[in-house]
């Protein structure tokens, strides 16, 4: 719009005297949010990058040390565990959440009587506080007092008691199951909303053209869902890669780094007061994360227009 | 739509085989949904049932149904008052963040939707970046900044920090809702003597009530749930929030599952009530955020 008006509608009413006032009003309204975001997000973000290049510890300002923190981290085994585990958690849990969310959304999208009740129940894990969900799973996984071992042994599905969170072979899988349980409703509801907004005419046209059910699914449903699936994948990957609660409350990164991820590693760095190194852990994630965020931002901005 | 029911309905209506396929499709669908619902409910059931069990039943004779129900775990958790204090702190923080965030973000969203000015695009991008900047990047620098502002280890500090995630999301979501309010209504109001600010307060905000509700609930929930910032920013017990109080229960040597699950139940209650009262708004808002953007 190239009309010389400050409000979006191009109304040729006597606006000019108030022009500056309207602009000032607009800036005044947006200022608190922008100032807070600059102070509490943008500045700390840049500050974190600076800190990662210093030897800051609690109570000292720290000196510039170049890439020393990054080199130090790259020499530790824990760091490589964190890289690998973060990739595994993001990939496996997002694929599972997509599969479960899509499947359940398709089921609920049918005109089944009672689908509203199913939808309400399926959303429950998301309505629970995350810390409650993961503490509950921690109890569920216990060898003594845990519901999963109880069911496995009593039904005879698996005779031995498993220390799900305490052994290296099962810890990661257990963390993933719990975070899928808590995270799938977001996918479910996003996909369901997208399904409901697919124009009926597309299906009717496909039927007229003689498309089979599978052809309609692959050529109408999936392409219509693609934009939502891409945005959801990006958002979910960013959140999962930076999730702290699920690992911290279930395993705290153990046993022996089997579930160590970046945010938990950074938190441990913070606890040992070596702030420079802790910040370097976070900053290591930036390149990959930055790409995801820029990609997500431009997709979301574009669809907003 | 390639759903099972439509496979059936695509066949000639009234034919016996179509009928049969429809019934089978229904049974399969209900079966799958029932399994999903059971998997969703079981952990919640376990949380509640563990909170109501005696210690000996939790540790020695685990069973799906307790022999005796007891409120002993709740008594034990609440005995010294520290958990109630944590719940109170959580309520204060979450409510304050919600009020501040809704006000500031609705002003910002309104400004960006209704006016054109030079930095509008930059602001929009900044807000979206801030929304997607993860807390795990910010907790280290924010803890230093809060210490410098002498707001470390205080509820005020937590409130300020929680605005980092609530403001961007709220502003982003509210922009979508405000766009749906017809500009003509505001202009009508202004002809009738309202100022622009009056039009925002009297016309746009009431018409965006579902959006405001969604945003308020998301903000409250986010603040109520937050663990990492609270863990880093607070040290003394007097400013612990509910997630922190429970976190410290499991870092002790003896793991008190009963009281822990009692705390989990109590912490869930406010959010569950919110969910059942306002599900409509939450689901719409959630879909809005990711789907329509």
Question: What distance in Å separates the CA atoms of residue B112 and residue B124, rounded to the nearest whole number?
Answer: 8
In a domain, B124, yes or no: yes
Q: Please indicate whether, in this complex, the C-beta atoms of A132 and B264 are within 8 angstroms of each other.
A: yes
- Under the banding of pLDDT at 50, 70 and 90, the label for residue B11 is very low
Domain membership flag for residue B56? no
Is the pLDDT at B2 greater than 60? The verdict is no
Q: What is the pLDDT of residue B253?
A: 63
Own/partner long-range contacts of A10-15 (Cβ < 8 Å, ≥24 apart): A11/B187
pLDDT band per the 50, 70, 90 thresholds, residue A175: very high
Residues of A in contact with B24 (CB under 8 A): none
Whether B162 and B259 map to the same domain: the answer is yes
- Distance in angstroms (rounded) separating the CA atoms of residues A195 and A255: 42
Which pLDDT band holds residue A220 (cuts at 50, 70, 90)? confident
Q: How far is A217 from chain B (nearest CA, A)?
A: 5
Quick: pLDDT tens for A59-93: 777 778 888 888 888 888 888 889 999 999 999 99
**Most confident option among A6-15, A143-152, B167-176:** B167-176
How confident is the model at residue A17, as a pLDDT? Answer: 57
B101 has a pLDDT exceeding 90? yes
B9: containing domain:
4-51
Residue A13: half-sphere exposure toward Cβ, Cα within 13 Å = 9
Q: How far is A31 from chain B (nearest CA, A)?
A: 7
Q: Is residue B175 domain-shared with residue B265, that is, in the same domain?
A: yes
Domain assignment present for residue B64? The answer is no
On whether both B91 and B137 belong to a single domain, the answer is: yes
On whether the CB atoms of residues B18 and B9 are closer than 8 A, the answer is yes
Residues 164-183 of B with CB under 8 A from A: 164, 167-168, 171, 175-176, 183
One domain, residues B35 and B88? no
Judged against a pLDDT cut of 90, whether residue A277 lies above it is answered with no
Task: State the pLDDT confidence band at B282, using cuts at 50, 70 and 90.
Answer: confident
Residue of A nearest to B66 (CA): A145
Residues B36, B169, single domain; the answer is no
| Contacting residues for A99 by C-beta, under 8 A, at least 6 apart | none
CATH code: domain of residue B264? 1.10.3720.10
pLDDT: is B285 or A43 the higher one?
Answer: A43
| Contacts across the A-B interface (CB distance below 8 Å) | 321
Domain co-membership, B36 together with B143: no
Average pLDDT, whole number, for chain A? 85
Q: Which of A112, A135, A201, A217 to mutate to test the interface with B (most CBs of B within 10 A)?
A: A135
**Percentage of residues in chain B having pLDDT higher than 70:** 91
Angstrom distance (rounded) from CA A223 to CA A204: 16
Q: Do A266 and B225 touch (CB under 8 A)?
A: no
pLDDT at A240 over 80: yes
B65 within some domain: no
Residue B209 clears pLDDT 70, i.e. is over it: yes
- Mapping DSSP onto H, E and C, the string for chain B reads CCCHHHHHHHCCCCCHHHHHHHHHHHHHHHHHHHHHHHHHHHHHHHHHHHHCCCHHHHHCCCCCCCCCCCCHHHHHHHCCCHHHHHHHHHHHHHHHHHHHHHHHHHHHHHHHHHECCCCHHHHHHHHHHHHHCCHHHHHHHHHHHHHHCCCCCCHHHHHHHHHHHHHHHHHHHHHHHHHCCCHHHHHHHHHCCCCHHHHHHHHHHHHCHHHHHHHHHHHHHHHHHCCHHHHHHCCCHHHCCHHHHHHHHHCCCCCCHHHHHHHHHHHHHHHHHHHHHHHHHHHHHHHHHHHHC
Q: What whole-number distance in Å separates Cα of residue A196 and Cα of residue B65?
A: 40
Whether the pLDDT of residue B13 is over 80: the answer is no
- B84 shares its domain with B199: yes
B97 touching A (Cβ < 8 Å): no
In the predicted model, is pLDDT for residue B81 greater than 90? no
The mean pLDDT value for B122-130 works out to 88
Q: What pLDDT does residue B288 have?
A: 63
Say which of B40, B196, B232 has its CB closest to residue A121: B40
Tokens representing A116? Answer: 């509203």
Give the residue with greater pLDDT, B231 vs B15. B231
A212 has pLDDT over 90 = no
Topology (CATH) of A68-304: MetI-like fold (1.10.3720)
Are A40 and B164 in contact (CB < 8 Å)?
A: yes
Query: Do A129 and B168 count as a contact with CB atoms less than 8 A apart?
Result: no
Task: Please give the span between the terminal C-alpha atoms of chain B, in angstroms, as a whole number.
Answer: 24
| Domain limits, chain A | 16-51, 68-304
Please determine, for residue A243, whether its predicted confidence score (pLDDT) is greater than 50: yes
Cβ neighbours of residue B41 under 8 Å, at least 6 residues apart?
A121, A124
| B82 & B18 share domain | no
* pLDDT tens, position by position, A90-111: 999 999 999 999 999 999 988 7
Residues B38 and B92 occupy one common structural domain: no
- Tell me the average pLDDT across B127-139: 86
On whether any CB of chain A is under 8 Å from the CB of B69, the answer is no
- The residue with tokens 């969203």 is B109
Q: With a CB-CB cutoff of 8 Å, which residues 4-43 of chain B face chain A?
A: 4-7, 10, 26, 29-30, 32-33, 36-37, 39-43
Above pLDDT 90, what percent of chain B? 32
C-beta contacts of A149-157 below 8 A and 24+ residues apart: A150/B62, A150/B63, A150/B64, A151/B64
Measured between CA atoms, how close is B203 to chain A, in angstroms? 16
- Residue of chain B whose Cα is closest to the Cα of A121: B37
Residues B25 and B123 in one domain: no
B117 with A26: Cβ contact below 8 A? yes
- What gap in Å lies between CA A7 and CA A74, rounded to an integer? 53
The pTM (predicted TM-score) of the whole model is: 0.87
Cβ distance of A122 and B114 shorter than 8 Å: no
pLDDT score of A247: 93
ipTM of the complex, rounded to two decimals: 0.87
The minimal CB distance from A131 to the residues B136, B168, B246 is found for: B246
Name the closest residue on chain B to residue A141, using Cα atoms: B43
Total domain count for chain B? 2
Q: For a pLDDT cut of 90, what percent of chain A falls above it? A: 28
Residues B78 and B45 in one domain: no
Which CA distances in Å does A133 have to A117, A279, B41, B99, B167?
21, 28, 11, 26, 25
Mean confidence (pLDDT) of chain B: 85
Scanning the structure block, which residue is given the tokens 């400013």?
Answer: B239
What percentage of chain A's residues is helix, strand, coil (to nearest 5)? 70, 0, 25
pLDDT of amino acid A305: 59
Residue A186 has pLDDT above 70, yes or no: yes
- Three-state secondary structure of A166-224: CCHHHHHHHHHHHHHHHHHHHHHHHHHHHHHCCCHHHHHHHHHCCCCHHHHHHHHHHHH
Which tops the pLDDT comparison, B1 or B65? B65
Residue A117 in this model has a pLDDT that exceeds 70: yes
B247-261 tens-digit pLDDT: 988 876 667 888 899
First to last CA, chain A: 13
Mean pLDDT of B184-212: 85
For residue A139, give the nearest of B2, B50, B175 by CB distance. Answer: B50
């Amino acid at each position: 719009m190239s009309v010389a008006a400050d409000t979006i509608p191009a109304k040729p009413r006597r606006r000019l005297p108030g022009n500056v006032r309207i602009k000032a009003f607009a800036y005044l309204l947006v200022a608190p949010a922008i100032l807070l975001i600059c102070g509490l997000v943008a500045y700390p973000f840049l500050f974190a990058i600076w800190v990662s290049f210093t030897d800051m510890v609690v109570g000292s300002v720290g000196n510039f040390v170049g890439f020393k923190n990054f080199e130090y981290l790259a020499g530790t085994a824990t760091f490589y565990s964190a890289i690998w585990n973060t990739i595994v958690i993001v990939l496996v849990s997002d694929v599972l959440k997509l599969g479960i969310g899509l499947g359940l959304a398709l089921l609920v999208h049918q005109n089944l009587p009672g689908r509203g009740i199913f939808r309400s129940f399926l959303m429950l894990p998301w309505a629970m506080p995350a810390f409650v969900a993961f503490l509950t799973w921690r109890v569920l996984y216990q060898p003594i007092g845990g519901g999963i071992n109880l069911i496995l042994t009593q039904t005879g599905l698996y005779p031995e008691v498993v220390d799900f969170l305490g052994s290296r072979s099962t810890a990661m899988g257990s963390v993933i199951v719990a975070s899928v349980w808590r995270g799938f409703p977001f996918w479910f509801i996003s996909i369901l909303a997208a399904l409901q907004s697919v124009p009926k005419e597309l299906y009717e046209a496909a039927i007229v053209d003689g498309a089979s059910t599978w052809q309609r699914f692959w050529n109408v449903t999936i392409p219509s869902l693609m934009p939502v699936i891409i945005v959801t994948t990006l958002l979910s990957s960013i959140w999962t890669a930076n999730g702290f609660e699920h690992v911290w409350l279930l395993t705290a990164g153990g046993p022996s780094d089997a579930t160590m991820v970046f945010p938990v590693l950074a938190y441990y760095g913070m606890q040992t007061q070596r702030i420079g190194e802790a910040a370097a852990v976070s900053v290591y994630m930036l390149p990959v994360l930055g790409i995801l965020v820029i990609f997500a931002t431009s997709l979301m901005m574009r669809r907003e227009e | 739509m390639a759903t099972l029911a439509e496979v059936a309905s695509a066949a000639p209506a009234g034919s016996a085989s179509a009928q049969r396929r429809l019934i089978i499709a229904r049974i399969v669908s209900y079966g799958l949904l029932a399994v999903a619902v059971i998997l969703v409910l079981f952990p919640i059931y376990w949380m509640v049932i563990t909170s109501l069990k005696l210690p000996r039943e939790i540790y020695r004779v685990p069973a799906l149904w307790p022999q005796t129900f007891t409120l002993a775990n709740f008594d034990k958790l609440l005995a010294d008052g520290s958990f109630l204090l944590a719940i109170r702190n959580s309520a204060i923080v979450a409510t304050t963040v919600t009020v501040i965030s809704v006000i500031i973000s609705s002003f910002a969203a309104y400004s960006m939707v209704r006016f054109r000015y030079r930095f509008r695009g930059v602001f929009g991008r900044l807000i979206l970046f801030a929304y997607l900047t993860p807390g795990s990047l910010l907790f280290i620098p924010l803890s230093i900044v809060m210490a410098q502002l002498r707001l470390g280890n205080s509820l005020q500090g937590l409130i300020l920090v929680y605005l980092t995630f609530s403001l961007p999301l709220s502003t982003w979501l509210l922009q979508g809702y405000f766009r749906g309010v017809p500009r003509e209504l505001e202009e009508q109001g202004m002809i009738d003597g309202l100022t622009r600010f009056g039009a925002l307060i009297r016309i746009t905000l009431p018409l965006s009530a579902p959006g405001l509700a969604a945003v308020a609930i998301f903000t409250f929930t986010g603040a109520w749930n937050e663990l990492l910032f609270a863990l880093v920013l607070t040290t003394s017990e007097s400013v612990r929030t509910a997630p922190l109080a429970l976190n410290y229960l499991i870092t002790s040597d003896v793991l008190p599952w009963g009281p822990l699950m009692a705390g989990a139940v109590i912490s869930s209650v406010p959010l569950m009530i919110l969910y059942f009262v306002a599900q409509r708004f939450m689901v719409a808002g959630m879909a809005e955020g990711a789907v329509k953007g």
